[in-house]
Amino acid sequence: MTTTDYRKDATAIEQLTPQQFAVTQNDATEPPFRNEFWDNHDDGIYVDIVSGEPLFSSTDKFDSGSGWPSFTRPIEPAHLVKKVDRSFWSVRTEVRSAAGDSHLGHLFDDGPAAEGGMRYCINSAALRFVPAAELESQGYGDYRSLFTTKES
């Protein structure tokens, strides 16, 4: 993969909607089933809305029934940071973007067993979707192979 310098971008933060700001900068959670990507079935990748770093692929997205976008694994594990979250009288694993330090959501161990058993439950407000047809034009051409089939 091409090395890109992803970072927390002050201009990007200034352009966030109030919901995006609350989620990414103040660790809020958007409402289930009333968010942009929970029911998105298009091919593409999901990137951090603040830094642009690639996080998840639609090829690893599944319907968890939770009302939030759910993924079995990240595109690049190094783009995620896991932290212990002791809020709400429980212990959970928070997931943040590595370069953008955006709060993304949480990681649970109740995902599809055949895919490793993990569920990355992610807020749509922390994500920007890049359709597969636009990967090259938006600078994510290295991920095009996720959406091409090899001819026999």
Q: Does the pLDDT at position 88 exceed 80?
A: no
Mean per-residue pLDDT, 90-103? 93
Are residues 38 and 124 in contact, defined by beta-carbon separation less than 8 angstroms?
yes
Give backbone dihedrals phi and psi of 112, rounded to 5 degrees, phi first.
-60, 120
The catalytic residue positions are 121
Mean per-residue pLDDT, 33-40? 96
Average pLDDT, whole number, for the chain? 92
Identify the weakest region by mean pLDDT among 23-32, 78-87, 99-108, 142-151: 142-151
Structural domains of the chain, with CATH: 10-137 (2.170.150.20)
What is d(CA 39, CA 16) in angstroms, rounded to the nearest whole number? Answer: 22
What is d(CA 94, CA 116) in angstroms, rounded to the nearest whole number? Answer: 18
Q: Which residues pair with 37 in a beta bridge?
A: none
Q: In the prediction, which pLDDT does 148 show?
A: 84
Are residues 47 and 130 in contact, defined by beta-carbon separation less than 8 angstroms?
yes
Q: Which of 4-8, 127-131, 144-148 has the highest mean pLDDT?
A: 127-131
* Structure-token pair, residue 96: 């943040």
Mean per-residue pLDDT, 78-107? 90
Closest CA to 20 of 41, 51, 53: 51
What is d(CA 87, CA 89) in angstroms, rounded to the nearest whole number? Answer: 6
Output the pTM of the full model: 0.92
Mean per-residue pLDDT, 111-132? 97
- Residue whose entry in the numeric block shows the structure tokens 């998840």: 56
The conformation of residue 82, written as its DSSP 8-state character, comes to E
Q: Which residues pair with 120 in a beta bridge?
A: 71, 107
